[in-house]
Amino acid sequence: MRVLVTNDDGIASPGLAVLVRAARALGAEVLVAAPGHDASGSSAALTGAEHLGRLEAAEVRAPGVPEDVPCLAVDATPGLITLAAARGRFGLPPDLVLSGVNRGPNTGRAVLHSGTVGAVFTGSTHGIEGLAVSLAAPDPVHWDTAEACALAVLRVLVADPARARVVNLNVPDVPLTELRGVRRARLASFGAAQAHVEERDGGEVVVTYSRPDESPDDDTDAALLARGWATVSLVNAPTSDDVSPLAPVVLPG
């Protein structure tokens, strides 16, 4: 099994090594290809720098990633990196896309704006299954909790593979002993996602866009996450709706 590990936090994020360890625990062949800089909030955008028709990339060792794992910093969004990988630009196309571990939650319908989830959406349009993983804190501490949850979900996906499935996992930043468990969850009406903003003076900030759930006691991903559960949501990639009624459209004249 070939696995692409990417993210939207950039090549310097420790979350990449978490997913590398989870993938290698299942015996996968892993390639890390992540943005050279923070690309939070990029959704599935296909933006990047090219030179002579090729994406600009450099060998950069992500923190904690073993030396025997190929590791690239690419001047592109995670969506474009995944598209390039799916088309064989980094070698044989991956069988699975792992994206994250993101610093901060990606919940609710706001996942539409997430670069972390956007990478998995892009893979799905090329028939590649994927898992997006987020740790619900801007400066997480409990990466081991995210790793344990990611590995548990991966084992389920590998045991029952499905073409183009998009899976979104959010993990509370708590010790594994305090985690309440992992639950299937529906998306909140909005939820939370992050965006990277470059200020005019050259500074950089990451902004989280969120809206509280209508009810903190319901079964949405945002509500369950706040109550200490790791949440797993299946998200539909863009598809056409061929069954819902739509009146004929007639042009004037």
pTM score over 0.75: yes
Cα gap 2→92, rounded to integer Å: 8
Contact 221, 185 (CB under 8 A): yes
Return the exposure string of 129-165: e unless at least 16 CB atoms fall within 10 Å of the residue's CB, then b: bbbbbbbbeeebebbebbbbbbbebbeebbeeeeebb
pLDDT of residue 42: 81
186-238: pLDDT as tens digits: 999 877 766 655 555 555 556 665 565 556 668 999 999 999 999 999 998 77
pLDDT of residue 207: 61
75-104: pLDDT as tens digits: 999 999 999 999 999 999 999 999 999 999
Average pLDDT of span 145-170: 95
Q: Is the pLDDT of residue 39 over 90?
A: no
Cα gap 95→80, rounded to integer Å: 17
Contact 18, 146 (CB under 8 A): yes
Secondary structure element (H or E) that encloses residue 209, with its range = strand 204-211
